[in-house]
Structure 1
Amino acid sequence: MDTRIDMILRELMGSTQPLTGQYLAGKLEVSSRTVRDDIKVLNDLLDNNGASVQSKRGTGYDLIIEDNTRFRSFLTDLIKTEESSDVIPTTPDSRILYMIKRLLLTETHIKLDDLADEMHVSKSTLQGDLKLMRGILEKHHLTIDSKANYGMKIDGSELNRRFAMSEYLFNRSYSSPDQVWMDQLAAIVNLSKDKLTDVWVLLLDQLKEHQVTLSDIAINNLFVHIAIAYKRIKEGHHVDLVQQEIQDIESKKEFKVASNIVSEVQQALDVTFPKLEIIYITIHLLGTKLIQEKPFQEQTAEEVMDPSIISLTNKMIEAVESKYALNINHDQELKLGLGLHLKPAINRYKYNMNIRNPMLDDIKHAYPLAFEAGIIASLVLDEELGVSIDENEVAYLALHIGAAMERQKINTRPKTCYIVCASGVGSAQLIRYRVEAEFRSQIRVLGVTEFYKIKDIPFDETDFIISSVPIKENLPVPVIEVNAILGNKDMTRIDRYVSAKKEKVLDYLPKTTMFLNQPLSSKEAVINFLAEQASAYDSLPADYKERVYEREEIAPTAYGNLIAVPHPISPQSSQTFLTICTLKRPIDWGERKVQFVCLLNVKKNSQEDLQDLYDILGRIVNDSSLIQKLLSAGTYEAFIKHLS
């Protein structure tokens, strides 16, 4: 199937409502007429395959599935055609993707033994992958139904199944080195691609034989390190030994694996690796296990990394912390993970080998704040080492920072509350159970009480009160008034307090900084316009606009879904606010089309938690139906209503 047709089908499968021709044209960067022609081709393909695309005047194109079985059979044939069926998944990520595809496309149970045979791995290996796969499916509200002697199949609504298909059936598994940077690597290390492929295969074979599990990224990093190590050794350069006892490293199972890898590589490339190189490859293999198995102590990073890497890592984290106050500067797991990533990555940077990151778009969409923090970290690399990296490498840094941010969320205590009810403790307990079931880790209910005992509440330990009766007296904590029997509106009110979303939207987005349906026709015109409007709203420095362009030069701020979020390279304003404009027609923004532009201004020297603001932006970036509503909004009130 043509790539453009493929994208249209994916977009339609992943949307809960019809998509306009203008929206699809913007996503595909073609004209609306081309979209109409592509829809005709798609309908020809879907004919007699259980589905069709219907055009609804005034609303757009809608995918109608009349026969789920026939449509699923069509998708199965499509995937088999586009992806060679004899490619065997070789990494955890590719195995998980393979299983998700197989289960999504079948109506019956599949035995784990059969999947193991198909992928040439042990059943126990897949059982480990299954846990991760269940977590992925849970995000789509899908579960795995396991039945003795029958196997397993995916269980959930057809709509949720369809959304999962949209995301996973059209992705490509990265089970081999990316050919773009394979060409680069071959030229740099003066080896043929055939030789490099031999190294890749033997590396995977050794990891598989010794049951060492690494992420796709870690395998790629190790592969690149081995290739560059070959070149450096040939030139007479050797790696510096880290500050950990050699005997301790040699006692690890991973040292045997590293020794076997090096032995195979030496034979394949006719080169002799020194023992210190084997030690470092061992530490590379240990990286994931150290993170998973060892409790972190202050000396951990010092034990396994070169002092120069430790210093660089600390400077990067300090720079991020000074700009965004993420409270991650004491995260030992971040220091170790980032440091282990940097050691081989610095070799790539020095050789100007910016490799492609297959997760770039996903990272920018899901973790925009982490990506911006990655930009700040990359500036430290430039300052300290004189190397400039592109957004693919920035996204790898963002992965480590994003993981630290998630750990920080886990470590953040839930909000505490007391429940007040005039009709008795029984009804208060009913409210309590509903709140605890709905909000779990977000809210901890300290207790319930009647209205007349309200002064006995320990306010110093309580963040807020949920009350089914009006409380007119001033209390030292906020009060959320609800009905005795909690309804959806009550739950929404509580959720808004916990996540602070609606209030923050209004705080960050004043009416005077929103400009809808503007006739601007270029990236420069939009940035200049929004910069002028932001300067009118807040006192900004004279070089403000140049700071915005400086950030754009590092990596375009277009995030997909017709959205761009430009901002200065560092905070410049006296308050945090958004300046938004929607455009009459999409414009070019780097390699993407953009129709929704949000100029982000963060308060200078602020210590405020901006995660909720980035959650708002992330929700817009990832919701194509929401962006359509926002683009169609003609008033400030309508715009805010869609966000609420």
Structure 2
Amino acid sequence: MLTLRIETILRELVAVSTPITGSYLATLNRVTSRTIREDIKTLDLSLVSNGAYIDSIMGQGYKLRITDEQLFRNYLKRVSGDESTVEKGIPKLPEERVTYLIKRFLLSERYIKLDDLADEMYVSKSTIQNDLVQVKNKLSLYDIRLEARPNYGLKVNADELKLRFCMAEYIFERREGKAKQLFGSHFSLLSQSELDSLLEIIVSQINFHRITVSDIAINNLVIHMAIAYKRIKDGYHINLYKTDLDEIVEQKEYQVASEIVRKVEEQFQVEFPQEETAYIALHLLGTKILLQMNATNKIIKEVVEEDISKIVGKMLDKIESKLNLGVCEDKELIIALSLHLKPAVNRYKYGMNVRNPMLEDIKKNYPLAFEAGVIAGAMINEHLGIEVDENEIGYLALHLGAAIERRKSKIGPKKCLIVCASGLGTAQLIYYKLKNQFGEGLELVGTTEYYKLRQYNLLDIDFIVSSIPIQEQLPVPVIVVNAILGDSDIRKIEEFIVHTNHKFNAFFQEELMFLTKSFESQEETLEFLYTTLLEKGLVDQTFLDAIYEREKVAPTSFGNLVAIPHPITPNSDKTFLAVCTLAKPIMWNDKPVQFICLLSVKKNSQEDLQGMYDLLGEIIHDSSIVEKLIKVKTYEAFMKVLSKEKA
């Protein structure tokens, strides 16, 4: 059995190809290096008989070595399943204790004393009291509060519907597309075979009625059915307003829900009131999708209301104006967002929560798409008056990320124009040298003399190779080379082609780099950066408020000790990055952070910032880069790490 902390260490080792130091793992898990050494020993003992081991490399750290690929893959499947969940043991980390406490309160019919909880978890009463601050905050997101009664303890007080949504979030693990209950002495609802029976009933009815829903949606429906069954047996029922009930009963989904409920009543010997059937119908209304991505416009119009299409159009216009991604005309994206938004509106209308099991991976691997999702969520709020949470933003980001990748795949080779003053012979020599060197990786649109340059539409060209210096400002970059191309000239051109937009030197400026600072909190760090930028005239007095407004939508801590705070809307006169690394990590919402990269994009920017976003994405994703960057003490050393890693 692996603890959550050891699972975290294993995930980090699997994710990178370079060694990871004990100090980095200690920082990530908020424990001492000595504790990490003990965890590494425990993990290594578990791995040696499962196709892998941990190599301790002097002066570099720990590296995972795989000796049997298949054996190790099977081990990972077991570890990522139900067998290793920490709930079987005693929670150790603060996050584990908070989750444990929430489960205890959600499933308890009685008041629970803090002394009893302290005894259960082998911690002090004061530790439990500290954890309760987080517990209350998390429960308040569902409008659930803890009711205290002297000499009795604490008990949840909540609307039944909100209570069930919260139970769905905390009582079940959603891994590998199958609902798995987190068993333990306090957390048992149904047996796995009963959960499988529910799944079979739901899938058969959905197939019979030809409703198409995603695997995640079916999984969620199984979970909500299991909770409904348990709550009904315990004597608790959903109450819906009559107007809501009447509206739901008229939907086709209500008939499907009725069939599902009838089968469940037969098999489980329980009676569902009409409101409970409507509750199941709500989940179908909130998950219905259409899979034909090549559907005709006529089909789309039948499925998607005009007001949804308008919101999607405004959403993409706003994303384009802020991020300049070039995806607003992507028909596949327009269809995907429209079809996603229709059931999403049903979820919002009835206050249903939707959990996104891929959220952390989306934030870490597709930060630009997630940012586009934040903008899309703001437009939904503006037009429908609905607050969109991180989980939903994550789903929007998936569609947007796919469009970004599609655009990348369609972009052909770079287009280059050759300018030469030495005559056609030299120009042709450069032309054929480049053609021979780069082949299909470079499209050579032609050669010209300098005085004829104005005849070309330079907006269709990515860069110019010129054998003479060009003083005037042109809308495309100019690479000056010798008339007889040498190796250094080839390298300059190659650098441009391979690392298009990879001009991170222009974004990381020495005067905006603050290394190994000793700030104690997110607030202190942001206040320092804001004050410094204000003094330099780079931002105005609304900047800090705009940063916090963005943090409210979704924290900008992306994992791997990295946070990329930025204003909710571009509001500076130039694009820049300000970097701050910390001597010790701070908590940024619920994640430890030691590398802060404050990003500000120019108002109404038409810059192509894809290269900068790609670079930030690579930093977020690669813990070995982060580990090196938080150790350096000078700008030169920082840039050396970046240039070496990105070479």
Whether TM-score is above 0.5 comes out as yes
Gaps of 5+ in 1: 86-170, 181-186, 242-254
Q: Which string of whole-angstrom CA distances, capped at 9 and with x for unpartnered residues, describes residues 237-259 of structure 1?
A: 14999xxxxxxxxxxxxx9xx99
Deviation of 1:12 (Å): 2.2
Q: Which residue of 2 aligns with 1:76?
A: 74
Match of 1:446 in 2: 445
Counterpart position of 2:5: 4
| Cα distance in 2 between the residues matched to 1:336 and 1:576 | 32
User: 1:320 offset after TM fit, Å?
Assistant: 2.9
For 2:461, the equivalent position in structure 1 comes to: 463
C-alpha distance in structure 2 between counterparts of 1:502 and 1:175, whole Å: 38
Change (3 A) 1:307 1:535: same
Partners in 1 of 2:320 and 2:181 — Cα distance?
36
Which of 265, 275, 279 is the equivalent residue of 2:260?
265
8 Å Cα contact 1:576-1:603 kept in structure 2: yes
User: C-alpha separation between the residues in 1 aligned to 2:181 and 2:370?
Assistant: 25
Aligned partner of 2:246 in structure 1 is 236
1:174 has 2:171 as partner:
no
Q: Distance in 1 between matches of 2:28 and 2:306?
A: 46
What are the superposed Cα offsets for residues 466-495 of structure 1, whole Å, 9 maximum, x if unpaired? 86x954577966236499999799467434
Q: Which residue of 2 aligns with 1:377?
A: 376
Q: How far is the alpha carbon of 1:347 from its aligned partner?
A: 2.6
- Change in CA separation of 1:346 and 1:30 when aligned onto 2, cut-off 3 Å: farther
Distance 1:353 1:538 in 2: 45
TM-score (norm. length: structure 2): 0.66
Q: Which secondary structure state, in structure 2, belongs to the residue aligned with residue 55 of structure 1?
A: strand
Question: Are the counterparts in 2 of residues 221 and 344 from structure 1 also a CA contact under 8 Å?
Answer: no
Specify the code of the residue in structure 1 equivalent to 2:457.
Answer: D
Equivalent in the alignment of 1:120? none
> Following superposition of structure 1 onto structure 2, how do residues 104-253 of structure 1 map, counting pairs within 5 Å?
173-177=175-179, 200-205=199-204, 215-217=214-216, 235-238=245-248
Distance 1:377 1:15, change over 3 A: closer
User: Which residue identity is paired with 1:373?
Assistant: A
**2:535 is equivalent to residue 536 of structure 1:** yes
Q: Deviation of residue 374 (structure 1)? A: 1.7
Q: Give me the whole-angstrom Cα distance separating, in 1, the residues matched to 2:482 and 2:37.
A: 50
Check 1:390–1:172 CA distance in 2 against 1; reply closer, same or farther (3 A cut).
closer
2:169 — aligned with what? Answer: none
Q: What corresponds to 1:547 in structure 2?
A: 546
Question: Offset at 1:226?
Answer: 11
Structure 2 partner of 1:435: 438
Corresponding residue SS for 1:58 = coil
Q: Give CA-to-partner distance per residue, 1:176-223, whole Å, 9 cap, x none.
A: 35869xxxxxx9xxx999999766434434677999986535656898
Q: Percent identity?
A: 38
Aligned to 1:30: 31
From the superposition, tell whether residues 212 and 496 of structure 1 become closer, same or farther in structure 2 (CA, over 3 Å): farther
Q: What residue in structure 2 maps to residue 630 of structure 1?
A: 629
- Relative distance call for 1:544 and 1:425 in structure 2 (3 A) is closer
Distance 1:230 1:44 in 2: 53
2:401 maps to 1:402: yes
What displacement does 1:507 show? Answer: 2.4
In structure 2, do the counterparts of structure 1 residues 234 and 75 end up closer, same or farther at CA, with 3 Å as the change threshold?
A: same
- State the shift of 1:453 in Å: 12
The 1:602–1:4 alpha-carbon spacing in structure 2 relative to 1, beyond 3 Å, is same
* Paired AA for residue 460 in structure 1: N
The Cα of 1:330 is off from its aligned counterpart by 3.6
Amino acid at match of 1:599: L
Q: What secondary structure sits across from 2:602 in the alignment?
A: coil
Q: Answer yes or no: is the 8 Å Cα contact 2:563–2:597 preserved in 1.
A: yes
Q: CA deviation at 1:283?
A: 11
Distance in 2 of aligned mates of 1:485 and 1:203: 69
Task: Describe the SS at the equivalent of 1:513.
Answer: strand
Cα distance in 1, alignment partners of residues 383 and 571 from structure 2: 24
1:628 aligns to what SS in structure 2?
Answer: helix
Structure-2 residue corresponding to 1:621: 620
**Structure 1's 385 and 341: CA in aligned 2 closer, same or farther, altered over 3 A?**
same
Amino acid at match of 1:506: N
Could you tell me whether the CA contact under 8 Å between 2:44 and 2:53 is conserved in 1?
Answer: yes
Task: Tell me if the contact between 1:202 and 1:264 (Cα under 8 Å) persists in the aligned partners.
Answer: no
Quote the Cα distance in structure 2 between the aligned partners of 1:514 and 1:624. 20
Q: Which digits, 9 at most, give the CA deviation of each residue in 1:2-39, with x for residues without a partner?
A: 13223323322332322111211223333322211111
Distance 1:490 1:404, change over 3 A: same
**1:346 counterpart letter in structure 2:** V
Unaligned runs of 5+ in 2: 84-172, 183-188, 229-237, 266-271
What's the secondary structure of 2:39's corresponding residue?
helix
1:38 maps to a residue whose letter is: D
Q: Offset at 1:83?
A: 3.8
In the alignment, the residues of structure 2 paired with residue 601 and residue 410 of structure 1 have an alpha-carbon distance, to the nearest angstrom, of: 27
| Distance change (3 Å), C-alpha of 1:361 and 1:192 | same
Is the deviation greater in 455-464 or in 592-601? 455-464
The 2-side partners of 1:77 and 1:435 are apart by 45
